[in-house]
Amino acid sequence: MGVKNYHRDEVYLKNQDQFRNIFRFTFKKVLKYKKRGLVLEIGSSTGLLLGEFKNAGWVVRGIEPSAISSSFSIERGIPTIRETFEKAKFTNKFDVVILNHVLEHMESPTNVLNKIHKLLNSRGIIVINVPNAGSLSARIYGKSWEYLLPEEHIWQFTPNALFKLLNDSGFKVLEWSATSGVWEYDNPILEVWQSLAQLKKRFFRNLLTAIPAWFITQLKLGTGLSVVAIKR
């Protein structure tokens, strides 16, 4: 059963248009490899990402320990388990499993990935998004890097560290990216427009950093590390 509320529940609920634009980036990555099937999102929050899959004809399942977020997800029509992934029991096999900025919070990434490997169907896909500890900003700011968040993030991952972890857990990396700024969104132009129309402070950051963030993204040195891997 849901163990607690997450302190960012309100942020997700108040900025659904912004997060929907971010989540569609992951949704489209999955569609490159799987067109339909059963998808599980670990840490599914309010169900925004799974809503994209559901609207496209997928069968969806979420797992979210936050009582507030899981309630919103259920209201959205997303079957959601109110529990931590480590404790949850599943009767289904999945075609896709997604961890969107979740793995860095988990006590044992190895145990989590081994469990996911068992839950996936043959040739199943896993998608992991985490802060990129090998990013240019992480190298520049060191211990002052804004995504360290030691009170929340138990682990930090560079691309090579995550690749090794996946390989050791029985996965083969299919693709990866490391994006920054507006290039973390499915539709960067929409993000710029929405941040302006809603008078958000991030509009100026979006505008001023768009060009340097594009070069950083092309070099795969961005702050958002995203990896797609297949079960071997």
**Is 137 inside any structural domain?**
yes
> Are the beta carbons of 48 and 26 closer than 8 angstroms?
no
Exposure on the CB side of residue 19, measured as CA atoms within 13 A: 19
CA 60 distance to own-chain centroid: 16
pLDDT computed for residue 8 by the predictor:
65
pLDDT computed for residue 6 by the predictor:
52
**Is 224 inside any structural domain?**
yes
**Is 2 inside any structural domain?**
no
CATH classification at residue 180 = 3.40.50.150
pLDDT computed for residue 190 by the predictor:
96
CB crowding 33-52: b at 16 or more within 10 Å, else e = bbeebbbbbbbbbbbbbbbb
Count up the domains in the chain and report the number.
1
Segments of the chain scoring below 70 in pLDDT: 1-8
